[in-house]
């Protein structure tokens, strides 16, 4: 994602819109429609800075020594390494090589075997590593203070500031082809090498040159609580992972995405009369088949749910259409008037041998967007 406004324009298929500020909310942009109704575009992570209230500009500003980016809460400063800073602490990220090129959109690092490109997310960095054959790139994280716990698997690495709240998360996105589509997952291995230092190794599949991407973000509260569950790893949970390989794949078996809206994060529109609620989920892979939404019979737990204790599902509620790089899912029936706690649901893809690859509610680079039309 390059711009909040550009993504809204894509969803609206170029239809012009007039923003209004009578419903200020850090997750949303509200516009007035020609028929007098209003539409809120609510992103799955905050899109406005917590101090200035302005929409995040996903570009670096430059001076002679460093590049600076202001996210929704974090300040990111990049010289020969990156500093991610928020009120809870500071995380330094050391990339392979040294900075070789800087633009407002991208900063490049280069050594003999890895070329790394970094660009802003809404509250951190999107990191793409172009690797020579058999290279396993490494990232070093240095924190300015110690945190008691981490939550990890091979999809993400989170240093926790509270029991269920990370300070920083490094999340796999996957391996890319030349068209910028995700074609396979990648993995993260972690090693603690000091009280406040962690060495992360990003693993690719196969023996060919590859472009591997991860997100590195400081935590902000999400609009959606979600997690994947999968048949090949029946005890695994992906609470902070930013990508889902829905349907069937060699790596995961069959994978589902549990989700629910935390409507109190958009309480400014809860008392309005909701006409339509459409969820737009970024399509990241090349296999473009419709997604299906089903209700589930009880509430899921973001940290305790897995395939082994998966929840019974009900009949399909809706199926997606696909355009402009998004799946569009009409959730009006599920979300109702937004005043009550929304129902839990599961998002599924066809059980083919090729997965539908989409972002989850934890992505700061390709966030989901809930469009709410109201009076």
- pLDDT tens across 184-198, in order? 999 999 999 999 999
42 lies in the same domain as 189: no
- Together in a domain, 38 and 73: no
Mean pLDDT of the chain: 93
* Residue at 246 is within a domain: yes
66 with 214, same domain: the answer is yes
User: Looking at 172, 190, 218, which one is the last position of a domain?
Assistant: 218
Give the gyration radius of the chain's Cα atoms.
Answer: 20
CA distance 217 to 203: 19
Contacts of 271 (CB under 8 A, 6+ apart): 339
Exposure letters 302-338 (e unless 16+ CB within 10 A, then b): beebbbeebbeeeeebbebeeeebbbbbbbbebbeeb
What would the pLDDT profile of 299-325 be if each residue is shown by its tens digit? 999 899 999 999 999 999 999 999 999
Same domain assignment for residues 213 and 230: no
Q: Quick check: is 161 in a domain? A: yes
Rounded to the nearest 5°, which phi and psi values hold at 83? -115, 120
Beta bridge partners of 180: none
> Which tokens in the block code for residue 215?
């997100």
Backbone angles phi, psi at 10, to 5 degrees: -65, -45
Within a domain: 54: no
Residue 292 parent element (H or E): strand 292-296
Average pLDDT over residues 322-339: 92
Domain assignment of residue 353, given as a range: 4-46+223-374
Say if 56 falls within a structural domain: no
Asked if the structure places residue 52 within a domain, the reply is: no
Does residue 175 sit in the same domain as residue 207? yes
Please give the tally of structural domains in the chain. 2
- The DSSP output letter for 219 is -
pLDDT score at 259: 97
Residue 250 CB coordination number (10 Å): 12
Domain end among 218, 251, 280? 218
Residues 6+ apart with CB under 8 A from 147: 89, 159, 160, 161, 167
Residues 67 and 95 in one domain: yes
pLDDT at 79: 94
| DSSP 8-class letter at 133 | T
Cβ 144 vs Cβ 134: under 8 Å: no
Q: Which two tokens stand for residue 125?
A: 């960095």
Together in a domain, 240 and 210:
no
Cα four-point dihedral sign 82, 223, 324, 322: positive
Say if residue 207's pLDDT is above 70.
no
Of 218, 239, 264, the residue that ends a domain is: 218
- Same domain assignment for residues 191 and 206: yes
Binned at pLDDT 50, 70 and 90, residue 332 comes out as very high
Who has greater pLDDT, 227 or 132? 227
Q: DSSP E strands: which ranges in 243-291?
A: 243-249, 253-261, 274-282
Name the nearest CA neighbour of 217 among 116, 126, 113.
126
Same domain, 73 and 175: yes
Let me know if 101 is exposed, middle or buried by CB neighbors in 10 A (0-12, 13-18, 19+). Answer: exposed
Q: Same structural domain for residues 33 and 160?
A: no
**How far apart are the C-alpha atoms of 288 and 349, rounded to whole Å?**
10
Tokens of 331: 């959730």
Give the number of other Cβ atoms within 10 Å of residue 17's Cβ.
17
Structure tokens at 164: 């269920």
Evaluate whether residue 237 is within a structural domain.
Answer: yes
Residues 32 and 83 in one domain: no
Q: Within a 10 A sphere around the Cβ of 272, how many other Cβ atoms?
A: 18
Per-residue pLDDT reduced to its tens digit, 344-357: 999 999 987 899 99
pLDDT at 352: 78
Is residue 55 included in any domain, yes or no? no
Is residue 205 included in any domain, yes or no? yes
Tokens, residue 374: 């109201």
The whole-number pLDDT of residue 338 equals 81
Residues 312 and 232 both lie in one domain: yes
Nearest to 167 by CA among 176, 175, 158: 158
pLDDT exceeds 70 at position 130: yes
Q: Band of the pLDDT at 270, cuts 50, 70, 90? A: confident
- Report if pTM > 0.85: yes
> Coil, strand, or helix at residue 203?
strand
């Amino acid at each position: 994602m390059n711009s909040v406004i550009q993504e809204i324009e894509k969803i609206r298929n170029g239809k012009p819109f007039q923003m209004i500020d009578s419903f200020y909310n850090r997750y949303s942009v509200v516009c007035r429609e020609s028929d007098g109704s209003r539409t809120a575009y609510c992103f799955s992570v905050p899109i406005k800075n917590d101090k200035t209230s302005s929409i995040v500009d996903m570009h670096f500003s430059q001076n002679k020594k460093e590049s600076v980016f202001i996210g929704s809460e974090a300040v990111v400063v990049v010289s020969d390494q990156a500093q991610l800073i928020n009120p809870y602490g500071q995380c330094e990220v050391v990339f392979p090589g040294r900075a070789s090129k800087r633009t407002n959109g991208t900063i490049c690092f280069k050594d003999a075997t890895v070329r790394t490109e970094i660009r802003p997310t809404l509250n951190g960095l999107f990191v793409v590593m172009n690797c020579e054959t058999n290279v396993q790139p490494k990232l070093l994280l240095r924190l300015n203070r110690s945190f008691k716990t981490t939550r990890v698997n091979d999809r993400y690495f989170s240093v926790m500031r509270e029991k269920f709240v990370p300070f920083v998360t490094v999340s796999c996105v996957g391996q890319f082809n030349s068209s910028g589509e995700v074609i396979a997952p990648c993995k993260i291995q972690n090693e603690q090498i000091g009280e406040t230092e962690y060495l992360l190794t990003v693993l690719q599949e196969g023996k060919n040159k590859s472009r591997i991407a991860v997100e590195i973000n400081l935590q902000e509260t999400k609009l959606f609580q979600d997690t994947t569950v999968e048949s090949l790893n029946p005890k695994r949970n992906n609470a902070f992972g930013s990508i889902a390989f829905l349907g069937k794949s060699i790596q995961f078996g069959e994978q589902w995405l549990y989700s629910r809206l935390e409507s109190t994060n958009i309480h400014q529109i809860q008392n309005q009369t909701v006409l339509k609620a459409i969820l737009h989920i970024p399509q990241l892979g090349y296999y473009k088949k419709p997604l299906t939404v089903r209700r589930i019979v009880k509430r899921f737990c973001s940290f305790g749910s897995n395939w082994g204790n998966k929840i019974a599902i009900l009949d399909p509620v809706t199926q997606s259409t696909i355009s402009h790089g998004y799946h569009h899912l009409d959730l009006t029936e599920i979300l109702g008037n937004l005043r009550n706690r929304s129902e839990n649901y599961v998002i599924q893809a066809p059980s083919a041998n090729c997965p539908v690859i989409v972002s989850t509610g934890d992505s700061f680079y390709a966030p989901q967007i809930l469009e709410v039309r109201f009076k």
